[in-house]
Amino acid sequence: MALEIERKFLIKNIPMDIEQFPHKEIIQWYFNDPTTGKSIRVRHIWEAYKITRKKWFGLVREEIETDITKEEFDQLRFQVENHFLEKTRYDIPYEWVMIELDIYKNLQGLKTAEIEFSNKRDAKKFETPEWFGEELTRMREASNWYIANHGLSDELIELIK
């Protein structure tokens, strides 16, 4: 088990040519494990297939990630309806962190940035760039799990505008 320490922000305008940064297409979906209460994410990113068990939401979460085969990925994909997210992720170096900028497909222009930290102190002292908007870290309706399973909340739609 590992702890993930991460902050998430809404992005309205990107002040740079993001195509200059490494990027990858991601397809992912979520379901809940009724035996553990953990959220399970299944993801295809680059040429890798992964299954991740997460618990909690907010700044610090428990996370266990395992590689799976393409066959396992395809088998799990047939168990979900249309509860998946597609996005392009850009890796943008900024000061001493890596910004993961996600541009979602078919979600009313939703763009978010996530930054992972090695400890809570670094997470708290991080000063956002000017182009960052509202912090979404503790907003349950802004979690990928929620969006994949319920769509965009009215509150998040208002923030995107």
Tokens representing 14? 């990107």
Fold of 2-160: Hypothetical Protein Pfu-838710-001 (2.40.320)
Which 8-state DSSP code applies to residue 73? H
Considering the entire predicted model, what is its pTM? 0.88
CA separation for the pair 77, 27 (Å, rounded): 10
**Per-residue model confidence as pLDDT tens for the chain (161 residues):** 688 899 999 998 998 899 999 999 999 988 777 777 677 888 998 889 999 887 766 788 888 899 999 999 988 877 766 678 999 999 999 999 999 999 999 898 999 999 999 999 999 999 999 999 999 999 999 999 899 888 999 999 999 98
